[in-house]
Amino acid sequence: MGKSTGFLEYKREVPNDREPLERIKDWDEFHLHLSQEKQQIQGARCMDCGVPYCHSGILLAGGASGCPIHNLIPEWNDLIYKGLWEEAFKRLMKTNNFPEFTGRVCPAPCEGACTVGLNEPQVTIKVNECNIIDRAYEEGWIKATPPTVRTGKKVAVVGSGPAGLACADELNKAGHLVTVFERADRVGGLLMYGIPNMKLDKEKIVGRRVNLMKEEGIEFVTSTEVGKDYSVAELDQNFDAVVLCGGATKPRDLPIEGRNLSGVHFAIDFLSANTKSLLDSGLSDNAYISAKDKNVVVIGGGDTGTDCVATSIRHGCKSVIQLEIMPKPSVDRTASNPWPEWPKTYKLDYGQEEAAALYGDDPRHYCVTTKKMVGTDAVTALETVSIEWIKDENGRMTMKEIPGSEKVLNADLVLLAMGFLGPDDQLVDQLELTRDGRSNVVGDTVYQTSREKYFTAGDMHRGQSLVVWAIHEGRQAARSVHAFLTK
């Protein structure tokens, strides 16, 4: 498991990103790689844990601790330290269908649970993973491997996000005939249109994997919305099993005065239109919501808010502010957030780093809530107030406005990045599926819904979550579908 004294001898080293003021000029990926020799040294830092938590994949205090797909992290860290890159690749692929996705966009709960992180900077697990899979492509170790035997069973996967793709990949490997339906014009779900190109290249990374899956026999049907363009009756007639992986696509709104003014948009609409226009025409068709020369306010934190900041900067916005309703995290773990919980610490993500380089400061304003959107036809300003979080008589944290803290912010473009509430209703209602209290589709312990031969996985089942959780659920649902088809 790496070099037994490696974590004592070597410091954590991650590759530099492209300089912020340089990378904001284009839409190319901004991460760089370490040399092979340096990356092998990083593998050596993986210590010989008695009980490694990095691949535990459990929920602690509402967050993931360790890898949800249970990557065999200590094993492939050891292999890259020894220079056995192809063996590391084979070990990685045993648990993860798409390391080139998670190695780029996963927040790395594995690193949050790394034992080295108790006293030193944790092992560079995410970067190690990305280097393994990128080298595998470069060396030609990844080739299309269609199944040699087909079962004749037909499975429809509705939705081509990470859950749908993982499920389709596993079912195809088992020999079933898999058709993936996607209502957008390109395959990938949020991987394609929810994540900007500079974080995950659509043609080089997503497209490469989709083309490989096509070579392996998976059929993709795009620009087709199941329940509208393709009926439930056709699903029932043409397929032996159906897996619903439509995601949690209903964005959370902000119902305050002025919400209906023009210039106020959901973040997902802003991001998806930008990526589609970028891929279609390099943004020359102007079929996107432009932030150029505008005062942009992003309401909401998280990865989506960061992506809005970075995209607005690349458009050439006049200014950008990001409003966070929660307090600013501490630099180090607090006593209430012990290892191996996900560390709720302050970090400057790529979008905030770019804003700081361009405008001089982190664009985030903490403990702020928006009271009103101001304007006649189009939004021109936001009225906000600062808040504090206090415990009520039941010990629950509640929000209290601070008198005299009201502010007015200039705003020509407001982007709502406050998360998602659940799946779209149309198909779920047609199928008359049972839902939980958060409107997610209920699936039992084997991901089977209340309707015979229908299964569900990913955000549609568990609610808005990480790409790595979606891959996990897609894999598990595929296993259940296989058992259902072969019983």
pLDDT, tens digit, for every residue of 419-476?
A: 999 999 999 999 999 999 999 999 999 999 999 999 999 999 999 999 999 999 999 9
- Domain 154-249+421-486, CATH 3.50.50.60 — does that match? yes
Give the per-residue pLDDT at 50: 84
pLDDT digits (tens, 9 = 90+) for 38-72: 999 999 999 878 889 999 999 998 889 999 999 99
Q: Are strands 379-391 and 397-401 parallel, antiparallel or unpaired?
A: antiparallel
Fold of domain 6-139: Fumarate Reductase Iron-sulfur Protein; Chain B, domain 2 (1.10.1060)
CA distance 248 to 163: 12
Would you say residue 1 has pLDDT above 80? no
What is the tens place of the pLDDT at every residue in 386-413? 999 998 888 899 999 999 999 999 999 9
**pLDDT single digits (tens) 143-170:** 999 999 999 999 999 999 999 999 999 9
Tens of pLDDT, residues 349-391: 999 999 999 999 999 999 999 999 999 999 999 999 999 999 8
| CA 460 to the chain's CA centroid | 14
DSSP H helices in 297-346: 302-315
CA 457 to chain centre: 15
Distance CA 307, CA 30 (A): 13
Whole-number Å distance between alpha carbons of 200 and 191: 8
Q: Which helix (H) or strand (E) holds 365?
A: strand 364-365
Q: What average pLDDT does the structure give for the chain?
A: 96
469 close to 64: Cβ distance less than 8 angstroms: yes
The residue with tokens 């106020």 is 264
- Phi, psi (rounded to 5 degrees) for 412: -100, -20
- Considering the chain, tell me which residue range(s) the CATH 3.50.50.60 domain(s) occupy: 154-249+421-486, 253-418
Mean pLDDT, range 472-486, rounded to an integer: 98
With 0.85 as the threshold, say if the pTM is over it: yes
* DSSP one-letter code for 116: G
User: Cα–Cα distance between 319 and 293 in angstroms, integer?
Assistant: 8
Handedness of CA 211, 213, 216, 219 (dihedral sign): negative
pLDDT of residue 49: 87
Q: How confident is the model at residue 192 (pLDDT cuts 50, 70, 90)?
A: very high
Taking the C-alpha atoms of residue 391 and residue 398, their distance in angstroms, rounded to an integer, is 6
Kind of pairing between the strands at 420-422 and 295-299: unpaired
Residue 233 has pLDDT above 80, yes or no: yes
Q: How far apart are CA 340 and CA 371, in angstroms?
A: 37
pLDDT at 4: 85
Decide if pLDDT at 477 tops 90.
Answer: yes
Query: How far out from the chain centre does Cα 332 lie?
Result: 24
Rounded distance between C-alpha atoms, residue 30 and residue 310, angstroms: 12
Q: Contact at 8 Å (CB) between 154 and 177?
A: yes
Whether the bond into 340 is cis, omega within 30 of 0:
yes
And the tokens for 245? 């992986």
- Cβ pair 136, 86 in contact under 8 A: yes
**Cβ distance 43 to 80 under 8 Å?**
yes
253-418: CATH homologous superfamily? FAD/NAD(P)-binding domain (3.50.50.60)
CB 311 within 8 A of CB 291: yes
Least confident window among 39-53, 218-232, 273-287:
39-53
Average pLDDT over residues 11-28: 97
Q: Region 230-250: what's the mean pLDDT?
A: 97
Compute the distance between CA of residue 213 and CA of residue 202 in angstroms, rounded to an integer. 15
3 state DSSP class of 249: coil
